[in-house]
Amino acid sequence: MRVLAKFLFFSALSLNVSKVTAETANTSQIDAQIEEFVVMMAEKHQFNPDVIKQTLDSAHKNQTILDAIARPWEAKPWHQYFPIFLTEKRLAKGIEFWQQHKEDLQRAEQETGVPAQIIVAIIGVETFYGTYKGKYSVLDALYTLGFYYPPRATFFRSELAEYFLLTREEGFNLQDVKGSYAGAMGWGQFISSSYRHYAVDFDGDGVRDLLNNPTDAIGSVANYFKRHGWKPNEPVAYKANVLTSDSNIDDLLSKSLKYTHTWQDLEVAGVSLNENITLSPQQSVKLLAFQQPENSEYWVGLPNFYTITRYNHSPLYAMAVFQFSQQLKQAME
């Protein structure tokens, strides 16, 4: 027993030493990445390296953010996902928002070709019309994910760089801005790079304010969709009937958001639409499956559906936005 006790003691000691060594190595790696980031911001973007270092030293690793990104809503099946967004309360608030900002929405639609109902749906899904714009420090969120979330650290370090640039350009105090756990901000939840590239001063006051100005948010969401290929006056998706084997369906479905099939491909495989809907055989499409409690519901996504996924890379998100937009349009008509 004494020999076993000694073995267990030294085994535990060895494990503890290994753990400490691993943690030290990980800390050293993070320190090196932070130093590399500071040098990059100084050399590439002419920031004072001491200011960048002090700012990062003031940022906090937030475990709640790491927990949140590990369980995104988009991981839910469709029948659990859509009730979060398609509610009477959100619809009522959306109608109120549409009526309040009718002129801005009309102008955005005329200038970009993006329908008012899509713009209203996006802002409603993202922040419930400015009600929930996020509670996390954007600096802390991007710092946490950029240095402590290896699966997407490169992306979030890039967004952290964009955030420094954005706050310098727009005159924000980077310590004060709040947003989502992923660092998205304002009425439309733009990440820093999207804010820099797609935000517009839609009310002409000289400021691109997506944090507090719904008019700028309306114009910026519309501009984002236009720049990502929205096709005016074209449909988004059609509900589909599937009369084919499971194996054929598996061949047509893919996790990739890119469109690799034509309508002819789907039709030959046994997919059909309502009798009064016709598509060109060469129309680029994607077959989509949405999980219901007992079976799957199928839709045919068209290029405008793909454009919605440029805002959030999830077919569930895009379908929720589309269906909500249809509810809004019907209510306003």
Give catalytic residues, as residue numbers: 126
Q: Which amino acid is at 321?
A: V
Chain mean position to CA 178: 16
Residue 58, C-beta contacts closer than 8 angstroms, at least 6 positions apart: 175
Question: What is the distance between the alpha carbons of residues 246 and 260, in angstroms, rounded to a whole number?
Answer: 19
Measured CA distances, 124 to 84, 93, 178 (Å)? 12, 8, 18
User: How many residues in the chain?
Assistant: 333
Question: What is the distance between the alpha carbons of residues 144 and 66, in angstroms, rounded to a whole number?
Answer: 8
Question: What is the distance between the alpha carbons of residues 257 and 316, in angstroms, rounded to a whole number?
Answer: 11
Spatial contact of 48 and 54, defined as CB atoms under 8 Å apart? no
Q: Which residues of 135-150 are buried (b: 16+ CB within 10 A; e: fewer)?
A: ebbbbbbbbbbbbbee
Q: Which two tokens stand for residue 144?
A: 């946490």
Tell me the backbone φ, ψ of residue 7, rounded to 5 degrees.
-60, -45
Question: What is the distance between the alpha carbons of residues 275 and 178, in angstroms, rounded to a whole number?
Answer: 49
Compute how many other C-beta atoms are within 10 angstroms of the C-beta atom of residue 263.
19
